[in-house]
Amino acid sequence: MSNPDSTLVPLHRLLYEEIVQKALAEDLGLAGDLTTDAIVTPGTGTAAGIISRTAGRIAGMDIAGAAFLSLDPHAAIETRVGDGCDASPGQALATVRGSARALLSAERTALNFLGHLSGIATATRNVVRAVASYGCKIVCTRKTIPGLRALEKYAVRAGGGSNHRFGLDDAVLIKDNHRLIAGGVEEAVRRVRRHAGHMVKIEVEVDTLDELEQALALEVDAVLLDNMQLDVLAQAVRMSRGKVVTEASGGITPANAPAVAATGVDLISIGWLTHSAPALDVSLELL
C-alpha cells in the first residue's frame, strides 16, 4: 500500500508485523472465528470499504492492511486516504478485496489499530494547529501502551508532532526522584557525566527558577520546565534562551497550548496524546 503523504516516512513492516500477528492470535484464540467459519463458505470472495465515520487525521493504514494480509496473503488493498492525511465523515479510506473469511476475521484487529493510531494522530494534529503561529514543537512522551510505542510515536508524527526519547537508553532525563536520590541536581549531573558517553544528551527536570539556575550553571543540553505557571514559565524561558533547549510539560491541552507556546518555549510535551487520545471511529462495510 502506498502512502500519499510523501513527507511522512512509513513504518518498516518489521516494527509491526509481529504485533499484528499477536493481536490476531489473541482474537482468534484456539478455535478460530466460530461465527464466520460457520456462516461463510470457504473460497468465498468479497470486497469491503474501510470508512471513517468521523473527521480526523489518519494513521495506521499499512498496519490495518497487515491484519488482512496475514489471513489472506493474496488480498488486494487500495488505499484512498493515506497516513498523515485528513479524512471527512463518511469518507472511504481504503478498499479491501479478498477472502470473505479473512476480511471478517481480521476486521476487528485491523480497525482497532487504525482507530487507535488515527485517534492519536488526530489529537496531535489539533494541538499542532493550536500552536501553529508559534515556533515550538509538540512532542510525545514515554506514556505509551506497552508494546505499541513505535506505532504510537509514528502516529504522533502522522499528526504533525515530533518524538521525545523512545526509551531510557537514548537520552538522559534527570527527574525529581533522581535528584532526591543523588542529593541534588549537581550531584545527579556529575554521576551521569561519569557514567554516560559523550554522545548522550542530558536533560534536567526543574520545578522552580532556583533549580533552573542550578541546571543552567551545569551546562546541560535541555531543561524540562514542569507544571510551571505561565508567568514563571516565561521567565524561565528568558533565563534559558541561547543556553539550552526548553521543554514545557504538565496539564497542556489544545485550549491552553497557545498560551504556553507564547512564552517562547522550544518544545511542549504531552503524555495524553498517546495514552488517552480517543480512537477515531472507523468501520468495515461490505460492498
Active site residues: 108, 143, 175, 205, 226
- Residue 187, CB half-sphere, CA atoms under 13 Å: how many? 9
DSSP 205-247: EESSHHHHHHHHHTT-SEEEEES--HHHHHHHHHHHTTTSEEE
Rounded CA-CA distance 215/53 in Å is 48
Phi then psi dihedrals of residue 236, to 5 deg: -65, -40
**CA torsion through residues 239, 243, 244, 246, sign:** positive
User: For residue 52, what are the β-bridge partners?
Assistant: 91, 282
Residue labelled with grid coordinates 546541560: 220
Q: Which helix (H) or strand (E) holds 133?
A: none
Q: Which residues does 237 contact at the CB level (< 8 Å), separation at least 6?
A: 225, 246, 263, 264, 265
Rg of the chain in Å (alpha carbons) = 22
95 near 31, Cβ under 8 Å? no
